[in-house]
Structure 1
Amino acid sequence: MPVLNERDYLEHAVRSVLEQDIDGPAELVLALGPSSDGTTELARRLADDDPRIILVDNPAAHIPVGLNAAIRASRHPTIIRVDAHSELSPGYARRALETLRRTGAANVGGIMRADGRTPFQSAVARLYNSPVGLGGGAYHGSEHEGEAESAYLGVMRRDVIEQVGLFDETIRRGEDWELNLRIRQAGHLVWFDPALSVTYWPRESWSRLARQFRATGAWRGELVRRFGRRNGLRFFAPPVLVLVSATALLVGILQLIGVLRGVATVIASVIYLPLLAYALLVIGVGLMSPGGVRRRLWTMAVLPTMHLSWGLGFIGGALRGARDTVDASRLGSRNTPLP
């Protein structure tokens, strides 16, 4: 479990891991980044109370670096990746181990079931769980078990991930997808089991969400630079939305200052049609959202935030590379406490 500024979530995440019922020994390795909110002190207290918790340092604070440090410090033949911003469902580990044995897969994952406690976080969670929001991956809500492109978090055979070289530490986001690509290229199976469920708590504010999605989009653009069309077509929808929006803005300016007139302005106005359709989609998704008015309004704000932030990041990452882009939403913590 890589950990950075997760004071309000860490204890719940750790408890969900340690309460897993499996046959045989287990340990939990926390890779501690340089937190500024008391997370490290909390992690040390938890480790003092339970000998199954092992602590390793991750001074760079990068997720794949922390994951590799934790894997190297671990002792057992199966690696279960967990996240400090999530909670494993009861029976998760036992079911995952059974699925590994049953299918012969190298990596098994399940559903990322986002949840929220405030109107904003609940709106984000609903869109995480919707193909309209985050879209496409089986782990966002598919009910069909089978071979998969990638796995959320993942329950992995140690010998296989060591064979392919662990996580690529030059990739700051999308490291799971890239590792699973190498696993599949090596002839191994990645498997999706919808009976596996992990609760994920999204970012708690609009600004944090925007920063998170911009960083994720930038690294997907980097992955497109590196791996081209091995990336699914769904990853190209947000940058297309950004380009259409920018083109419509330019057309609008040219119409206002009189550069486009007559037939030219009529033809150019066609660019507004996809944006109109998108606006109707956003409004429709918002109106159909369960809950009160605040949650519906947040849904209408969150959906374009996710798409446009991701798309802007993607374009930058595809054109010049992600470089040192990090998820700045993780660098400070004023989280909403859980009960």
Structure 2
Amino acid sequence: MPALPPAVSVIMPVLNEERHLRNSVRHILEQEYDGEMEVVIALGPSTDRTDEIAAELVRETASHERARVTTVPNPTGRTPAALNAAIKASRHPVVVRVDGHGMLSPNYIATAVRLLEETGAQNVGGIMHAEGENDWENAVAAAMTSKIGVGNAAFHTGGQAGPAETVYLGVFRREALERQGGYNEEFIRAQDWELNFRIRESGGAIWFSPELRVQYRPRPSVRALAKQYKDYGRWRHVVARYHSGSINLRYLAPPTAVCAIAAGIVAGAVLTPWGLVVPAGYLAAIAAGSVPAGKGLSLKARLQIPVALATMHMSWGYGFLTSPRSLAKKVIASRRPAAQPVEA
């Protein structure tokens, strides 16, 4: 009789996720995986029905032999604190991170466990497959999966399987998380990138595979998208200051664009109309890039793609440029001793 695959702990940080939580957990419980599973939901201070839905899921799975749902409190509401609390409350050798608005493909866990074994990686992950439920969300999804929107990030746009800087969410060997001391709770955002950087620094491999897909629901408004990407830029600059040498040209493109466009607008208003060539060129570029990105979408969704692209670029760049050094200094003060290298 073949041995069962390793038991898996699925950890979920949630805050105000009443819209998607039940569906997200359903996609976990219906995984095509023969091993034992547990789902640990870390509950932040939600103001909607998230806690009530989580309690229902706990009751509904209490008698399940193969997969049960449990919860742990996360009073801070911070994602890395939620992840660490869920890791501590879980017990299995493979740890799968899922967000409250992420929907795993049916064979996600089975494929990830196989890839951990085949590659020897410490963390494997795949594609953040953005899908919307209305015209605006479809526009954002198109922007997020377009190279003009996010550059060459494989977990957004796809690509060949192989070693990567980071991956979306991640399926970890528990020993790798324990060796690194879990997530750094000072990183309100970019905690995945920062943890994967530490894993790579200590000799571990991060592996990307397009076989792994997680359906992702985009932010439902321009304001929410702008806040999301401003936070991304703000915290990516913190990572750059915390881990010297971790920045590359792709991350510098949005702040450069913000500076160039602002300078062009000022020059056009004060000095010469030729200054407006830069912002006009940017608008023309995102309009042109929106055409292939919007293939198959409704006219209303296609018309909103340039808005989504500009919101993402400008918010990320603004967040990066305005990220305070004091924030980085606070994070650097929390620096832990380097983890021991992974043994070959």
CA contact (8 A) 2:265 2:276 kept: no
User: What's the RMSD between the two structures over aligned residues?
Assistant: 1.7
CA contact (8 A) 1:221 1:321 kept: no
Residue in structure 2 matching 1:41, options 47, 52, 60: 52
Structure 1 unpaired stretches of 5+? 256-264, 325-339
Percent of aligned positions that are identical? 42
Q: Distance in 2 between matches of 1:147 and 1:247?
A: 39
Number of equivalenced pairs: 312
CA contact (8 A) 1:148 1:190 kept: yes
What amino acid is aligned across from residue 290 of structure 2 in structure 1? G
Query: Which is further off, 186-195 or 136-145?
Result: 136-145
In the other structure, the counterpart of 1:334 is none
Q: Distance in 2 between matches of 1:212 and 1:322?
A: 19
- CA positional deviation for 1:245: 1.5
Q: Distance in 1 between matches of 2:150 and 2:25?
A: 26
CA contact (8 A) 1:10 1:85 kept: yes
Q: Distance in 2 between matches of 1:12 and 1:298?
A: 27
CA contact (8 A) 1:225 1:321 kept: no
Q: Distance in 1 between matches of 2:258 and 2:163?
A: 32
The SS at the match of 1:197 is: strand
What amino acid is aligned across from residue 58 of structure 1 in structure 2? N
Residue in structure 2 matching 1:163, options 170, 175, 179: 179
Structure 2 unpaired stretches of 5+? 1-11, 63-67, 331-344
| Alignment of 1:304 onto 2:310 | yes
Indicate the structure whose relative CO is greater, using CA pairs within 8 Å and at least 6 residues apart: 1
- CA positional deviation for 1:93: 0.2
In the other structure, the counterpart of 2:339 is none
Pairing of 1:42-81 with structure 2 (within 5 A): 42-51=53-62, 52-81=68-97
In the other structure, the counterpart of 2:108 is 92
- CA positional deviation for 1:319: 5.0
Residue in structure 2 matching 1:217, options 220, 223, 233: 233
Q: Distance in 1 between matches of 2:121 and 2:279?
A: 43
In the other structure, the counterpart of 1:237 is 253
CA contact (8 A) 2:112 2:212 kept: yes
CA contact (8 A) 1:124 1:302 kept: yes
Q: Distance in 2 between matches of 1:322 and 1:115?
A: 34
Residue in structure 2 matching 1:28, options 28, 36, 39: 39
Query: Which is further off, 283-292 or 29-38?
Result: 283-292
Q: Deviations over 1:2-29 (max 9, x none)?
A: 0000101000100011111223211000
- CA positional deviation for 1:231: 2.1
- CA positional deviation for 1:54: 1.0
Q: Deviations over 1:107-132 (max 9, x none)?
A: 00011100011110000001111111
In the other structure, the counterpart of 1:285 is 289
